[in-house]
Structure 1
Amino acid sequence: MANPAQDSAGGRVSGLTRQQAEAARRTYGWNELPRGRRTGPLKVFLRQFSNFLVLILIAAGIIAFTLGEYADTLAIGLVIGLNGILGFVQEWRAETALESLRSMLSPQALAVRDGREQVIEARELVPGDLIILEAGARVPADAHLEEAAGLRLDESALTGESVPVDKAPGGDAAEVFAGTVVAAGRALAVVTATGARTAFGEIAALTGAVGLKKTNLQVQLGRLARQLGFAALAIASAILALGLYMGRDAAEMFMTGLSLSVAMVPEGLPAVVTITLALGAAAMVRQKALARRLQAVETLGAASVICTDKTGTLTENKMTVTRVWTLDRIYQVTGTGYDPAGHIAWNGAVTGAREDAVLAQLLEAGLTCTHASLHREGGHWQMTGAPTEGALVTLGYKGWAELPPPDSVLAEIPFSSERKRMSVLVKGIGGEKVLTKGAPEQVLSLCTEVLTQNGPRQLGAEQTAAITEAYEVMAAEGLRVIGLATGTAPGGEIREQDMTFLGLAGLIDPPRPEVRAAIGAARSAGIRVIMITGDSPLTAKAIAAQLGLPAGKTLTGDALEALEDAELDRILQQDVLFARTRPAHKMRIVSALQGQHQIVAMTGDGVNDAPALKQADIGVSMGVRGTDVAKDASDLVLLDDNFATIVRAIGEGRRQFTNVRKFVRYLLSSNAGEVIALLINILIGGPLIFLATQILWMNLVTDGVTAVALGLEKGEPDQMEHPPRRKDAPIVGKAGLLTILALGLYTGLASLWLFLHLLDGNEDLARTAAFTAMVVFEKASVFAFRSLHLPCWRIGFFSNPLLLAALAVTIGAQVAAVYWPPLQVLLHTVPLQAEHWGLIALLVLPVLVVPEVLKTLRYLASRRTSRAAAAA
């Protein structure tokens, strides 16, 4: 492409004119990433009605309307509308909250336009623009360096590498990339790519190529809905055909078929699932996790593997000095990040510049040979400059070294990738001197002496070997090692020779303090944690060791590329960590794990994490440090960037799935009782035991309210002490089906017996009694589902006060349905007498007692087995 900046009459220094920039923008567009398939509010709302159960409800409503049952139509319409509104509110709230987190691309840029420097909106940049990069600025577009002085970039958001990269004109080091941060120095660069054409944009496009996936809960509920729908259609059609064959009235049989269809489909299920997940999502927001989709937290609860980035996720993304080495002393340094709260210790005793002359000179070199600075802002310490230099400045503060005057540096030879060191000329009390810092081998090569507690000593082979061994050991432990030296300045010039070696500083991007416990909790829950980082293998292994993360094997991205899929599958069955990886590597790892039927959660905050975040079963991004691309690709955004929040979210997800399983089984057992009573009554030729309106009342009003309260049960005590559920774990399952059939058979037969027992006197009375009995049975059976394996006395009868309130409300609503005239008209009920309530009370006792006795016996047997195993 022609470069307008080069072709301009004023030459490159003048930059583009406004007219040239506008012409280029017509060709290249705005400097911003395409928003992709940003879902509008209407589409989000309509998406709530794509669930198969909801479609069945819509069909039932249409049939009821066609038959003139307008009350039924209204009731069905209300539950459909409630489900849609609740789902829309939560998902749209998550989308708008995410919009407020957009902050990756720099909003402004310093550019040369019309021959002068001016601040413009970053989105206005075009290829050919001249931009000026300064410390602390975010690079607004891909560019080629024309001039640079001590330029170092933090590319961790793009590559995962936590150590700043040196940049200079000429060669590969001349390319700078959008979204990276200037850690130190200043540069003039010409823009080469903007928006989607940047390296940042290419990764975003790779992310967009990964399709949306359904969660396991959606798959399970969809399968259940289809099974129920087809079963309802088949049975209702069979009953309709049988009735017509027997000569029954066609309108009556249509209503019977509709009643059966309504009874078989738990109309309240979509709304209950939506409400439960929405309340769970709201609870997670209070715990600093934003679920972009309602099912996200539930899916995280099933995670069997967490693939996590290192930089900014497991670590603080703040370089910190943890060790100082001199020839005769090794110092330990406490504290993390750029907060000077910490100290330097030798032999367990706190020390500093006043007590240790060698340490004082080393700290002075770190404080003076730098472009970094610390300052307090809003009660917090902020660092400006390169992370490594910031760590050395923070070290000086911890050692109580004197801060150099602002004008102490007289001259400088900046750091470069070729020299691998930086030197400054400073004025001091005894005259001018040179201070140098850089790669240990480079600094050591300049020295002829080494400073000790007894003064300078000649640097011989023995001392050189000791220094070399020290920095090799530190490097092997994953530390980044910096050497520091001092020298004389004859003639007031920087002379990098005959210097005195001061010592070594070992730095690392430290782990977040809460992460080790979080990883331990995840492993206790049967969840593997795999580190996938762009950083070096040594650093990755050091961080893994500090976090208690097992890593029997370390594999680099290049080694991964050479592996066949079968070999990668074998390696992934071991404890392994991955280093020097690129986005495609992360996607391959996630895909391979999914091929092993693992449910994979991927955490990360950088652009390089985004494709794998979207590929994973659930992507978890960081809300503070996370890039826009990463947030857009994720299902869950951690608002506090706290890895430990993931473990809490896993617990919440397990609680949600268990509760969904509870209320699905509860609702189906209620429906089973209604269906059994209806079917047997029809087969024996009796009048309709339940009207469609009464079934809707049971399924929506009484059962729906109770199921929502059941969905708010607290997590069971051992939910984080067992392995994750299987990917294909059913919501109902064989044990659940047996429970549903047993309860349904009893409640159906009991209500049918009551109906037939009272039928001789009054059909409306018999139907009202059977209708009320079924409601009471369903309220009593909820206690059997509060825990799927623990008796109520173990979890506490009053541990879910909302459930008790829901039972009181629904029983009260049923009493009103029996005695309040408006509801009597709507539901076709008549008042019951005391003896009728007495019969209902006797019939409900087995529903209350039998499940609790069975669960108590199983619990006691389990405890005896556990004690016997412990004794053995």
Structure 2
Amino acid sequence: MNAVELSEEGPTEWYSEPLERVFERLDSDEEGLTDDEATDRRAEFGPNELEQEAGVSPYRLFLSQFQDFLIYLLIFAALLSVAVGVLPGTAPKYEEAALILLILLANGLFGFVQDYRAEMSIKSLQELSTPNATVLRNGETVTVDAADVVPGDIVVIEQGSVIPADARLVDATAMETNEAALTGESTSVTKVSGTVDADAPLAERDNMVFMSTTAIKGRGRAVVVATGMDTEVGDIATEIQEAEPRETPFQKEVDELGKRIGFGIVALILVIAATQFVFTAAGWLSILLTGITLAVAAVPEGLPAVVTLTLALGSRKILDRDALVRRLPVVESLGSVEVIVSDKTGTLTENQMTVKRVYFDGAAYDVTGSGLSTDGEFRRDGERANPEELTPLLSCGAYCNDAERTPNSADDEYYGDPTEVALLVAAAKSNVAPAHERLREIPFSSERKRMTVVARESLSVLSRGDSVGVDSDLTAYMKGAPEVVLERCDRFLEDGEVRELTDAKREEILERNRTFASNALRVLGFAARSVDNTEADPEDIERNMVFLGLQGMIDPPRDEVPEAIEDCQHAGIRVVMATGDNLDTAKAIGRNIGFDSETAMVGADVEALSDDELRDVVENVDVFARVSPQHKVRILRALQGNGHTVAMTGDGVNDAPALRNADVGISMGIRGTDVAQQASDMVLLDDNFVTIRDAVAEGRAIFDNIRKFVNLLLSANAGEVLTVFFGVFVGTLLFPDLFAAEADPLILTPVMLLWINIVTDGLPALALGTDPKAPNILDRPPRNDGQGVIDRRMVFSIISIGLTMTVIGLGVFFYGLAAVRELVTAQTLLFTFIVTVEMVVIQVIRSRYNQSPFSNPWLIAAVAVSFGLQLLVLYTPLNALFDVFPVSAAHWVWIALGTVAFVIVTTVVERTLG
């Protein structure tokens, strides 16, 4: 069977086929392929690489920053400002157009930089492929480029090897691999040859090794069955490529806001034109100029820039909390999260096996501390115990061990099998170090389920009551499955004496083992004996052992996680755990950190449900175990299908598809793979679940701040537009002689309006983005999809502020006009009044969030600068550019009275609205 026939025959559950059938289908054998066969297959199957999705060109990515309705509206406003210059007796308004376009360009450049980085996600998948691989070619062991590995190749695997492709094991000696990045399994996986059931999930296919995983122990050979995009990692790459980009809720809201403003401006132009035409004697040119000017004034030119910069400031706050935001709109989306689907390993737990309980001398001890830290103590019945009491048991765990501390490193740096590292750390907590001369090792295998080493080390307690009577400085140390170790023992250590192991004592030990295992602990048994011959038959060395005790370990929850989950639940955020670990472990961890583990499900259960059934189930299940990447995506989509805004956390390659599909994808910065980080929206730099809680609080605060400045900008614009419109209308009726004398009878000029919108509104609006969060921000539920930036409460606020500003502002204007009968004097008073009032509006809006005037120093500075700039316009030669005059003290009194009246009215209205 050639390579072409192989590809046409379709996919196979290689792990369940007899090895002979695997070789037959691959047209290979234990001698591997010839060079010619490998060349032909590479031509047929392609290089052993992961395909890249077609990248987005920087040019198109830049243009995409301007594909938004509000952006279109602002571009139209800029063009309109120039286009009016073609009308007789008018000049293009280049200043307005330049300012608007400059703001849009800055906003587009900022978004482009952020999105360009996000588009690089799939490229990191290629970095997982190993540059070289050891294979059999022409019957000889050779090293080839990993891209040249093909189906049918025999791969030679040694400790430390990174697997170049998916392969079926031909033989394996004491082989263990680390597959946490692919499956989520926290412990190393023992690999064996043979067959596996056809329905075995990925994490239980023990006769397979997978691309980009690592052999951490032992050696073996395997026949390659899948390369490139046909591997398990390739499937994940496909999932990422097929994930459609999702708009955040805030992106949808801003787009909808732009449409509302746009339609409102069109309606405004029509109403103004019709009103002036019917009720005034203004000509068509005057009507057109008034409509265009008000339309330009109504557009909140600073809104896109202020939104972008506020999100950027928010991302900086979140970065200070050790979370890096990769897409700006996600900053606000954090505040909308209703469900967090979290991986267990490395996210809720330490991702480091830790000995938590030991059994020695007939008693159980609890072990404090976690991870690689040697800080911890041993407790018996709640009381601190002397760790020296446990020296025989802990020494055995340290001596019968292949893990090592990294040379010339700190105490918390080790390399080797995670289980053996845990034993070294437990020993270090009692100051036991493996300073011994190892003379022989009888390695672990899946058949033996035990490991023994012979060391030049005398365990003194063995000489007391040792019926074997060996007087030697050599000791054999054994560790393994408790029941297997017990079978090799005929004595046990108790009260410092070696005693006969009775059936009753044997059952007591096994019962203790079952108790440890029921708490999801991985339990190992330990034994030792004195020997006098390192060359003896293994059966002779591993007999008549003295049982020392048990050590139970687990990848424990982070200490701060239970409180963080409780805080999330209090804030109306549901947390769901989805892990590749087995059900018992998942349930035990879930119970410890506050989940309801009774309804836990496994991936096979998820697979058996239809999409509709799963949507019902996910609302009541907090723990999912033995889930594959496809299961995680289905769980995510089921929650989203129920209308939830979902955040997904993860660190492994297997998490990347779900991270890409989530409303907010959150990866780990320390333990996370490049794939997970590049597929995510936010990276936790400290891998701490607590950081998610803090980021959610900041996200909610950012949404509050966005609401404040949207309220400010739209209220101000509404007041300006209504003031100008009614001012022109009423002024034409009350002072026809003055208004008739003006070629462009506006009570505020376009330059004044642009100054107010960009400078005196823009700076305080930007400073609002730095407002501190409310102290009770996590005491309220997340906002739902139907609760937009502008709600009914804000609409009433905008209308009330706008109308109050209009009524009082026109009073100030017509006071000035009646007093001096000069339009420029009335314009100056109104111009200054609006600038002053809008400084006050800020605190009127902030008071709704129970924030004092002095809680934000940046806002105080922004208000001072804005007001200072207004004084600069009034009292320097700049007043000629704005066609205003220096306001006198008497005029300031009138402006102050109008401002006080405005504050009283708006405060009463705001409190009435609640």
Provide TM-score, normalisation by structure 2: 0.86
What is the CA distance between 1:729 and its match in structure 2?
1.1
Mapped partners of 2:99, 2:704: distance in 1? 29
Q: 1:101 to 1:337 in 2, by over 3 A?
A: farther
What is the CA distance between 1:725 and its match in structure 2?
1.7
- Corresponding position of 2:836: 776
- Corresponding position of 1:745: 803
Mapped partners of 1:401, 1:3: distance in 2? 56
Greater CA deviation, 291-300 or 491-500? 491-500
Q: 1:123 to 1:522 in 2, by over 3 A?
A: farther
Mapped partners of 2:38, 2:412: distance in 1? 40
Amino acid at match of 2:230: R
Identity of aligned residues (%): 39
Q: 1:454 to 1:78 in 2, by over 3 A?
A: closer
Mapped partners of 1:213, 1:705: distance in 2? 32
- Corresponding position of 1:351: 386
**1:425-461 deviation digits (Å, cap 9, x = unpaired):** 4454444554332222222233333332253333333
What is the CA distance between 1:45 and its match in structure 2?
2.7
- Corresponding position of 1:841: 896
- Corresponding position of 2:725: 679
- After TM superposition, the structure 1 = structure 2 runs for residues 798-837 of structure 1, keeping only pairs within 5 Å, are 798-822=854-878, 824-825=880-881, 827-837=882-892
2:254 to 209, 214, 221: 221
Mapped partners of 2:210, 2:233: distance in 1? 7
Q: In the alignment, is the contact (CA less than 8 A) between 1:148 and 1:185 conserved in 2?
A: yes
Is 1:633 paired with 2:679?
A: yes
1:211 to 220, 244, 250: 244
Q: 1:28 to 1:261 in 2, by over 3 A?
A: farther
Mapped partners of 2:912, 2:422: distance in 1? 62
Q: In the alignment, is the contact (CA less than 8 A) between 1:103 and 1:627 conserved in 2?
A: no
2:826 to 766, 784, 789: 766
1:467 to 509, 514, 523: 509
Q: 1:90 to 1:818 in 2, by over 3 A?
A: farther
Mapped partners of 2:753, 2:145: distance in 1? 62
- Corresponding position of 1:870: none
- After TM superposition, the structure 1 = structure 2 runs for residues 157-556 of structure 1, keeping only pairs within 5 Å, are 157-172=181-196, 173-243=206-276, 248-326=282-360, 328-346=362-380, 348-352=383-387, 355-356=388-389, 359-401=390-432, 403-406=434-437, 408-416=438-446, 418-429=447-458, 430-431=471-472, 432=474, 434-453=476-495, 455-487=497-529, 492-495=536-539, 496-556=542-602
SS of 1:597 mapped into structure 2: coil
Q: In the alignment, is the contact (CA less than 8 A) between 1:434 and 1:494 conserved in 2?
A: no
Mapped partners of 1:46, 1:592: distance in 2? 34
2:71 to 54, 60, 66: 54
Greater CA deviation, 135-144 or 258-267? 135-144
**1:711-767 deviation digits (Å, cap 9, x = unpaired):** 110111111222212222121212111111111101112222222333351122222
* RMSD of aligned alpha carbons: 3.2
What is the CA distance between 1:150 and its match in structure 2?
1.0
Q: In the alignment, is the contact (CA less than 8 A) between 2:50 and 2:126 conserved in 1?
A: no
Q: In the alignment, is the contact (CA less than 8 A) between 2:701 and 2:773 conserved in 1?
A: yes
- Corresponding position of 2:813: 755
Q: 1:737 to 1:254 in 2, by over 3 A?
A: same
SS of 1:553 mapped into structure 2: coil
Greater CA deviation, 435-444 or 677-686? 677-686
Q: 1:569 to 1:188 in 2, by over 3 A?
A: closer
Greater CA deviation, 451-460 or 536-545? 451-460
Amino acid at match of 2:509: I
What is the CA distance between 1:367 and its match in structure 2?
2.2
SS of 1:720 mapped into structure 2: helix
SS of 2:779 mapped into structure 1: coil
Mapped partners of 1:841, 1:216: distance in 2? 42
- Corresponding position of 1:719: 777
Mapped partners of 2:658, 2:329: distance in 1? 19
Mapped partners of 1:146, 1:559: distance in 2? 32
What is the CA distance between 1:700 and its match in structure 2?
1.5
What is the CA distance between 1:252 and its match in structure 2?
2.3
Q: 1:188 to 1:3 in 2, by over 3 A?
A: farther
Q: In the alignment, is the contact (CA less than 8 A) between 1:94 and 1:291 conserved in 2?
A: no
What is the CA distance between 1:390 and its match in structure 2?
1.6
Q: In the alignment, is the contact (CA less than 8 A) between 2:3 and 2:41 conserved in 1?
A: no
- After TM superposition, the structure 1 = structure 2 runs for residues 593-632 of structure 1, keeping only pairs within 5 Å, are 593-632=639-678
What is the CA distance between 1:239 and its match in structure 2?
2.5
Q: In the alignment, is the contact (CA less than 8 A) between 1:422 and 1:437 conserved in 2?
A: yes
What is the CA distance between 1:681 and its match in structure 2?
3.0
Amino acid at match of 2:507: A
Q: 1:26 to 1:821 in 2, by over 3 A?
A: farther
What is the CA distance between 1:286 and its match in structure 2?
3.0
SS of 2:524 mapped into structure 1: strand
Mapped partners of 1:527, 1:504: distance in 2? 40
- Corresponding position of 1:584: 630
Provide TM-score, normalisation by structure 1: 0.90
- Corresponding position of 1:70: 94
SS of 2:746 mapped into structure 1: coil
Mapped partners of 1:472, 1:734: distance in 2? 61
SS of 2:478 mapped into structure 1: strand
Work out the number of aligned pairs and report it.
846
Q: In the alignment, is the contact (CA less than 8 A) between 1:335 and 1:342 conserved in 2?
A: yes
What is the CA distance between 1:339 and its match in structure 2?
3.3
**1:625-675 deviation digits (Å, cap 9, x = unpaired):** 222332233111112212111111101101100000111011111011012
Mapped partners of 2:413, 2:517: distance in 1? 28
Mapped partners of 1:552, 1:805: distance in 2? 55
Greater CA deviation, 631-640 or 662-671? 631-640
Amino acid at match of 2:425: T
Mapped partners of 2:606, 2:225: distance in 1? 32
Mapped partners of 2:634, 2:254: distance in 1? 29
Amino acid at match of 2:502: G
Q: In the alignment, is the contact (CA less than 8 A) between 1:368 and 1:409 conserved in 2?
A: no
Q: In the alignment, is the contact (CA less than 8 A) between 2:377 and 2:429 conserved in 1?
A: yes
- Corresponding position of 2:468: none
Amino acid at match of 2:595: L
Greater CA deviation, 437-446 or 314-323? 437-446
Q: In the alignment, is the contact (CA less than 8 A) between 2:38 and 2:150 conserved in 1?
A: yes
Amino acid at match of 1:836: H
What is the CA distance between 1:125 and its match in structure 2?
4.7
What is the CA distance between 1:147 and its match in structure 2?
4.0
**1:165-214 deviation digits (Å, cap 9, x = unpaired):** 11133435332112222221123344443332220110221233221111
Mapped partners of 1:79, 1:128: distance in 2? 59
- After TM superposition, the structure 1 = structure 2 runs for residues 551-570 of structure 1, keeping only pairs within 5 Å, are 551-563=597-609, 568-570=614-616
Is 1:42 paired with 2:59?
A: yes
Q: In the alignment, is the contact (CA less than 8 A) between 1:326 and 1:504 conserved in 2?
A: yes
Amino acid at match of 2:695: A
Mind listing any 5+ residue stretches in structure 1 that lack a counterpart? Answer: 860-872
Amino acid at match of 2:159: A
Mind listing any 5+ residue stretches in structure 2 that lack a counterpart? Answer: 5-22, 86-92, 197-205, 459-470, 733-744
Q: In the alignment, is the contact (CA less than 8 A) between 1:367 and 1:404 conserved in 2?
A: no
